[in-house]
Amino acid sequence: MRIDIITVLPELLDSPFAHSIMKRAQEKGLLEVRCHQLRDFAINKHGQIDDYQYGGGAGMVIMCEPLANQIEKLQGERTYDEVIFLTPDGETYNQGIANAFSLNKNLMLICGHYKGIDQRIRDKYVTKEISIGDYVLSGGELAAAVLVDSIGRLLPGVLNDETSALTDSFQDNLLAPPVYTRPADFNGMEVPEILLSGNFPKIEEWRNEQALQRTKERRPDLLE
């Protein structure tokens, strides 16, 4: 999969994909992430890409021209399955959306800033609008990093058996059960005996019970 990200702050995205699973996914050639500096398409030599909003009000709006030119340049190079705008007024992101996005070949992500982007760009180019939750971020970059990570780890071959996405919280609408490692006794706090029993069918049963109990207590909405 290839993911192109349009941003005024590409530096914010230097680190999130440079480590661990996202690093390995790129080294294996399973994922390619490219960030594009929107200011390269500024309307003048001052690097202007935003302007005051019509009708008045605080906050700058990213202009049509730089975005349209950047988007069309990329669209001239390949066909995008989705053009995704990261915005607090978008559809709330979840594992199901991540699963669906992971089946695509080329994704374009657009990060907003300030008061957002001109509505005409959303009307003409954007195919999906996504929010990562009900709180406000300063820009779409951290949300873009969340999408890339959650999608990237679902690509076939990225995870091995040990890190398999199939055992993740949410993949089956259940939260993950508690996990333990050595020592078996930490200052008098003991690991549940069943996990030391070697009885793997029983252990599996216990984990399923714990996952269900945790989900009932913490996220009953997931069971509806």
Q: Point out which residues bind ligand 6GU (CB under 6 A).
A: 86-88, 130-133, 135-137, 139-140, 143
CB of 16 to ligand 6GU, least distance (A): 15
Cβ proximity to ligand 6GU: between 88 and 152 the closer is: 88
Helix axis angle, 141-152 relative to 20-27, nearest 10°?
A: 60
Cβ proximity to ligand 6GU: between 1 and 110 the closer is: 110
CB of 65 to ligand 6GU, least distance (A): 22
Instruction: Report the C-alpha gap between 138 and 87 in whole angstroms.
Output: 10
Any long-range contacts for 16-21 (C-beta under 8 Å, 24+ apart)? 16/145, 16/148, 16/149, 17/145, 17/148, 17/149, 17/152, 21/149, 21/152, 21/153, 21/158, 21/159, 21/163
Please name which of 107, 115, 112 lies closest in space to residue 141, comparing C-alpha atoms: 112
Cβ proximity to ligand 6GU: between 114 and 206 the closer is: 114
Bond prior to 10 in cis (omega within 30° of 0): no
CB of 194 to ligand 6GU, least distance (A): 40
CB of 131 to ligand 6GU, least distance (A): 4
Cβ proximity to ligand 6GU: between 63 and 84 the closer is: 84
CB of 161 to ligand 6GU, least distance (A): 33
At 211, list the tokens.
């996952």
Cβ proximity to ligand 6GU: between 84 and 158 the closer is: 84
